[in-house]
Amino acid sequence: MPSLTHLKRLESESIHIFREVIAECVKPVMLYSIGKDSAVMLHLALKAFHPAPLPFPLLHVDTTWKFRAMYEFRDATAKRPGVELIVYINQDGVRAGIGPFAHGSQVHTDVMKTQALRQALDKYGFDAAFGGARRDEEQSRAKERVFSFRSTQHHWDPRQQRPELWALFNTRKHAGESLRVFPLSNWTELDVWQYIWQENVPIPALYLAAVRPVVKRDGMLIMVDDERMPLKPGERPMMKKVRFRTLGCYPLTGAIESEAETLPAIIEEMLQARTSERQGRVIDLDSTATMEMKKREGYF
Amino acid sequence: MRSGSQPAPQDIGTYLRAQENKSLLRFITCGSVDDGKSTLIGRLLYESKLLFDDQLAALARDSKRVGTRGGELDFALLVDGLAAEREQGITIDVAYRYFSTDKRKFIVADTPGHEQYTRNMVTGASTADLAVILIDARKGVLTQTRRHSFLVHLLGIPRVVLAVNKMDLVGYQRATFEQIHADYCDFAAGIGLTNLTAIPLSAAFGDNVLEHSANMPWYSGPTLLQHLESVPMSDELPGRPFRMPVQWVNRPNSGFRGFCGQIASGSVRAGERVRVLPSGRESEVARIVTADGELPEAIAGQSVTVLLASEIDVSRGDVLAAGDAPPQVASQFEATVVWLHEEPLLQGRAYLMKAGTRTVSATVMPIKHRINVNTLEHTAAERLELNDIGVCELELDQPIAFEPYTENRVLGAFILIDRMTNGTVGAGLIHFALRRSQNVHWQALDVNKRIRARQKRQTACVLWLTGLSGAGKSTIANRVEKKLTAEGHHTYLLDGDNVRHGLNKDLGFTAQDRVENIRRVAEVAKLMVDAGLIVLVSFISPFRAERRMARALFEPGEFFEVFVDTPLAEAERRDVKGLYRKARLGELKNFTGIDSPYETPEQPEIQIDTTSVTPEQAAERIVAELAAVGITRPA
């Protein structure tokens, strides 16, 4: 009997997860962050329900500080057949003028991302939200369930997670409680890139190296993406050939210098890389176990 | 947006194409505390170049702060995820780790060896293709080794590696390794573990992990990684017949009706006959659809959409199977159950059972025995506590298609879900169907419930009065019965105390006896409802799960939960039978409200606040309510 390649096994597992949610949950949504993991997740979801259109909307929780190229990519994605996109912005945060430069990464992320996500889920009454998180990303994620149970306050309690055996996912919950579901749990960063290459999955061009204006801050290369970025005295944007290993709010996302202009070049660079992908995220450096704390509060 | 992939440089292109053909091996590592499990996984990640500089820096920092190796790199910290655990220095949950070589991608379930966490090991083992059982060469085969091996066997992991670790600490002696190997083989044969490979190694120094160790020239077998890379990867036993649990029915338009699912075993081709279970209807596969085009054939592990040639009734929870070799269908089983929750499993309580894509109600009838995982002895048990493993009989409310777990891990596995908390409380493996379920069929009778009830100008139903002892249940029930009888209706009153004098006189007041007490009364009430009667049940029935179990026996609209709501202080003040006083003195054990809980109904059909209405008013209200919903009709 022939057996499946590792990507086919991962793909089939993810499709199984998508279908299980649509069969058992009332109002699912896909959290869409515009990055490569979201791109792969969307690609898999379209496969899972083919030839039917996507049976749930995408939700982009917009902090208003994403790269301009991400917004363009997002809007192009929303026009794809069968795709419906909801954009949610925490207007309280906008009114309070919350931003990464004025308030720092922690406050910005908490108000514009964590709180915004909770508001959006409550507003629309979604009972299951797909997220693109992978277990290989970070230590506290390594123990995350595929179906992660959240209280009515969206809290995650690592000690109250349900045991998850075989592919028998328990989707039951009381009114107001919800699930976060991670179809890419068993994918690694390399799997994601390999799959993007193999399946020709569309991704934002920011992942590929190009000459871009950047400044160096706290050891990181930050792209000057719009006029909201205050330059420090004597600071002048440099034109450097850079790309991004992860995408988020541009003031919080470090670029790496790179010559990789193609997918195979990215993969080759990654194979030789000596730092993990989350290293380019300011928020993770703030404190130890920071991801776990954010998760408890409802971040993803 | 990316404009398609551009031609790759020669070497990376070759690399990427080779990657496309990689297979995937999922394995579990099990061992006792300090056997070096985490060190071994850390070593595999390290050697396969999967640790990045920032992770190494974090590791070095953490090793100094909380490491157990005097500031040296402590690989265990890499795989101990959560902050709480790091501080306690123990792993308390299953963590998944990923690494790959040029030949394979690996998913490692790292499970704690700590005594109380059988639950985690069973979880990690449920998806594993192979198990690495670690033994400390200085200690040999321990009780915990036996336990892990038993669980590996129970969960049906087809291949086992016996990793005799810390060989450096026994001078790399061949005799030590061979003695341990021989000891283990004796034990393994006894439980039926056969596919076994033993490897001597040192995770701390890397001997025989990736490369052959110069310290053990006497060992000529594969290194651990060589073995993991080359062990045959057939996803299952060859020649298994086709099975696919239907997950979801895809109906984008009237011309397309596809049955989505992941193939559990075997393969299927367009044109083949398939049978739908449990219904037993047959059809032919018209097309196998995927987003990448139609397939002539699909194999185990693939998620596909199957279209049938004829319009037959198929829905989620059904199983599509090879027409000439369908699985059995049954509603009563013997199964092994692993209990995963602090709240024990009780005989007679109904749980939700998810098996494949079907969720049914399952009641544990007798627990035949509990298995001591250390000695493998069988002992009698009336309940299963957290981490207990027992063999039980299960009774389902509807038949399902199944196969013994040893033949099919997808069709033979199930989880049990608590109806109230929705928690996953148990995991199970089906052994076989009980013969009585295949032979006993319901007799279809010509005179039925409706005809009997109509004759009495009523609709049969049960009024289930629940509340504390002394709340006034029996008083109210008596008055309701008198009124209904006066109006010419036909009733019967089942009273808790009276039933305990006869039918249930063998039962005490422990939690499991209470469950059985309720089960019997509910079944008797059901027969009486079938006789067309209005049945009043006056029972404390303190547990929501039991009331829900009773409710589940009846048709929608037949079950009226009447909450006789009297505060504990008030019931105790009345203390009609003097029982509260005895309970307070400790003369009565397990007394509801005192040392046993009363779980308030969440959504009773009728709620009576006895502090504001008299029993007579309460009875009038209940009778009026029955008339209002059409249970009783005027003469």
Choose, out of B12, B86, B100, the residue to mutate when testing the contact with A (most A CBs < 10 Å).
B12
* pLDDT for the residue numbered B219: 96
Put simply, the answer to whether A165 touches B123 (Cβ < 8 Å) is yes
pLDDT in tens, B215-229: 999 999 999 999 999
Set of chain A residues whose Cβ sits within 8 Å of the Cβ of B256: 51
Angle between helices A36-49 and A189-199 (to 10 degrees): 60
Put simply, the answer to whether B410 touches A262 (Cβ < 8 Å) is no
Put simply, the answer to whether A140 touches B23 (Cβ < 8 Å) is no
Set of chain B residues whose Cβ sits within 8 Å of the Cβ of A22: 248
pTM: 0.78
Residue A147 pLDDT more than 90?
Answer: yes
* pLDDT for the residue numbered B443: 45
Which residues of B are catalytically annotated?
A: 541
Model confidence at B50, pLDDT cuts 50, 70, 90, reads: low
Name the burial class of residue B15, with classes exposed (0-12), middle (13-18) and buried (19+) by CB atoms within 10 angstroms of its CB.
middle
Residue of chain A whose Cα is closest to the Cα of B254: A52
Residue of chain B whose Cα is closest to the Cα of A82: B252
Residue B9 pLDDT more than 60?
Answer: no
Closest Cβ–Cβ partner in A204, A276, A292 for B82: A292
* pLDDT for the residue numbered B115: 52
* pLDDT for the residue numbered A279: 54
* pLDDT for the residue numbered B32: 76
User: Higher model confidence: residue A137 or residue B50?
Assistant: A137
Model confidence at B12, pLDDT cuts 50, 70, 90, reads: confident
Closest Cβ–Cβ partner in B239, B267, B417 for A172: B417
What average pLDDT does chain B have?
86
Coil, strand, or helix at residue B288?
Answer: strand
Q: Are B564 and B472 in contact (CB under 8 A)?
A: yes
Residue A283 pLDDT more than 70?
Answer: no
Residue B145 pLDDT more than 50?
Answer: yes
Set of chain A residues whose Cβ sits within 8 Å of the Cβ of B300: 1
Put simply, the answer to whether B123 touches A164 (Cβ < 8 Å) is yes
Set of chain A residues whose Cβ sits within 8 Å of the Cβ of B418: none
Model confidence at B114, pLDDT cuts 50, 70, 90, reads: low
Residue B1 pLDDT more than 50?
Answer: no
Closest Cβ–Cβ partner in A23, A168, A205 for B1: A205
From the CA of A295, how many Å to the nearest CA of chain B?
A: 12
* pLDDT for the residue numbered B85: 52
Cβ neighbours of residue A251 under 8 Å, at least 6 residues apart? A65, A99, A100, A101, A222, A229
Coil, strand, or helix at residue A238?
Answer: strand
Residue B82 pLDDT more than 50?
Answer: no
* pLDDT for the residue numbered B457: 82
Name the burial class of residue B514, with classes exposed (0-12), middle (13-18) and buried (19+) by CB atoms within 10 angstroms of its CB.
buried
Mean pLDDT score, B546-575: 89
HEC string of B314-378? CCCCCEEEECCCCCEEEEEEEEEEEECCCCCEECCCEEEEEECCEEEEEEEEEEEEEECCCCCCE
Query: H or E element: which one contains B146?
Result: helix B143-154
Put simply, the answer to whether B83 touches A140 (Cβ < 8 Å) is yes
Cα A52 to Cα B375: distance, rounded to the nearest angstrom:
54
Residue B182 pLDDT more than 70?
Answer: yes
Cα A289 to Cα A296: distance, rounded to the nearest angstrom:
11
Q: Are B33 and B113 in contact (CB under 8 A)?
A: yes
What's chain B's Rg over C-alpha atoms? 31
Please, what is the end-to-end C-alpha distance for chain A in angstroms?
A: 40
- Dihedrals phi, psi of B595, to nearest 5 degrees: -125, 20
**Stretch among A143-152, B42-51, B151-160, B498-507 having the lowest mean pLDDT:** B42-51
Residue A138 pLDDT more than 60?
Answer: yes
Residue A92 pLDDT more than 70?
Answer: yes
Residue of chain B whose Cα is closest to the Cα of A200: B4
Q: Are B165 and B203 in contact (CB under 8 A)?
A: yes
